[in-house]
Structure 1
Amino acid sequence: MADLEHPDNVHAHKNGYPNLVAQPKHAGIDFYGHEILIGDSIVMDPSTGEVVLKENLENYLSELYGFSFKTAE
């Protein structure tokens, strides 16, 4: 009986391994420990030097500075 190889192994031997360089570049960590990637929108707090992802800005302003976000009625 002939030895069988997994199709992924055969593909890797023929074509090489996938390009790992294509992954997004890491640019740091925000105030909450979330990964910042190149191209992400960030906000910098000039009074503390902290960096926050834009999507976390409302939480940051609420927790550190007591801002209140509401919907106008």
Structure 2
Amino acid sequence: MIKHSDVTCENRTGFPNMIAQPEHAGIDYFGNEILAGDDVAEFDGEVILKDNLERFLEEIGFEFKTAI
């Protein structure tokens, strides 16, 4: 029986490959994990993932409209 090294590692540690895991860089305003290399914005001491920026702006009172 042939065993794959990634499967053996995952069975032993619970993780497929610890070396390949991206480095944790913090938590954003909404509690989402920030990983090394993620795009973020900073506002008044808060860190927001770029993907959550529109949601953050709406939450603090910005209103998005279409120009006429």
Runs of 4+ in 1 over 3 A off after TM superposition: none
- What TM-score results when the alignment is normalised by the length of structure 1? 0.68
Aligned-residue RMSD, C-alpha = 1.9
Offset at 1:38? 0.5
- Match for 2:67: what amino acid? A
Aligned length: 60
Point out where structure 1 has 5 or more consecutive residues left out of the alignment. 1-6
Question: How far, CA to CA, are the matches of 1:37 and 1:19 in structure 2?
Answer: 16
Superposed CA deviations along residues 14-58 of structure 1, whole A, max 9, x for unmatched, are x5635321111110100000010101000001x3x0000011111
More strand by share: 2
In structure 1, the residue matched to 2:17 is 19
Q: Alignment identity in percent?
A: 53
Question: How far, CA to CA, are the matches of 1:31 and 1:50 in structure 2?
Answer: 6
- What TM-score results when the alignment is normalised by the length of structure 2? 0.72
